[in-house]
Homo-oligomer: A and B are copies of this chain.
Amino acid sequence: METPKVVAFDVFGTVVDWYGSICKEAAKTFKGEVDADKFALAWRAGYAPAMQRVMSGELGWTLIDDLHRMILDELLPRFRIDNLTEKQTDHLNKIWHRLEPWPDSVEGLTRLKSSFMICTLSNGNIALLANMAKHGKLPWDCILSAEIFRKYKPDPSTYLGVASTFRVEPEDVMLVASHHNDLEAARQCGLQTAFIERPMEFGPIQGNDISPRSGNDLHCLDIVDLAGQLDC
């Protein structure tokens, strides 16, 4: 295994805890009148189909902020919520800008930053990722987003876009993610891959498969473990 030059991170679930952050916000916003676990999972479940509508051409290019809002606007009546002002709804939608890092993320990224160029490769839009980094003190060297490539992962142009942006070969880039389909797509483009275990990504009820899969260059307990395995 060659040492990578650029270490690119999936963000939602891999670096930040969307489930826990949304549960907390839902509990605060809805004052216990909504099942926060179901609400968080339903919001996230709308994400892949919404992106698929963009990738299929049914919707024109649409940023994640707007996709999150479209999903939220369907969810609120489904959860029988009709008392939020526009300002409150917008604030709730922007919870995705304020997701909390997992406890290991800042330490792991800070260690990796000393030896590698570390960046995001997320379907989140640039403003979302920059606000999230500021909120959670995530020390990115650079924020790369599907917004730059105008394609959503797992489109190959996103993975290859990291390499071409940094003017290195695909094998000089390592993608880090807690999702096997993301890593699989990256590997098909020639990137190195590291899997991060996030057993609680979908909360305690739904659970998550964190078993190792062959093909990944590294399998890590968390980002601090990744830093250790990469000798930083």
Contacts and interface: CB of A to CB of B under 8 A. Distances in A.
A33 interface: no
Interface residues of A, number: 19
B142 A130 contact: yes
A8 to B, nearest CB: 12
A147 B134 CA distance: 23
Interface in A56-79: 65
Interface string A144-155: 100110000000
Contact of A143 (B127, B134, B143): B143
Interface in A125-159: 126-127, 129-131, 133-134, 141-144, 147-148
A166 B134 contact: no
B141 A133 contact: yes
A142 B141 contact: no
Nearest to A143: B142
Interface string A3-18: 0000000000000000
Contact of A127 (B65, B127, B165): B165
B134 A130 contact: no
Contacts of A65: 167
A57 to B, nearest CB: 22
Interface string A73-106: 0000000000000000000000000000000000
Pick the 3 closest A-B CB pairs, nearest first: A130-B142, A127-B166, A126-B165
Given A119-B130, A126-B165, 14 more contacts: A65-B167, A117-B130, A117-B131, A126-B142, A127-B166, A127-B167, A129-B142, A130-B141, A130-B142, A130-B166, A134-B141, A142-B143, A143-B143, A148-B148
7 contacts: A117-B130, A117-B134, A126-B144, A126-B166, A130-B166, A142-B143, A148-B148
Interface of A: 65, 117, 119, 126-127, 129-131, 133-134, 141-144, 147-148, 165-167
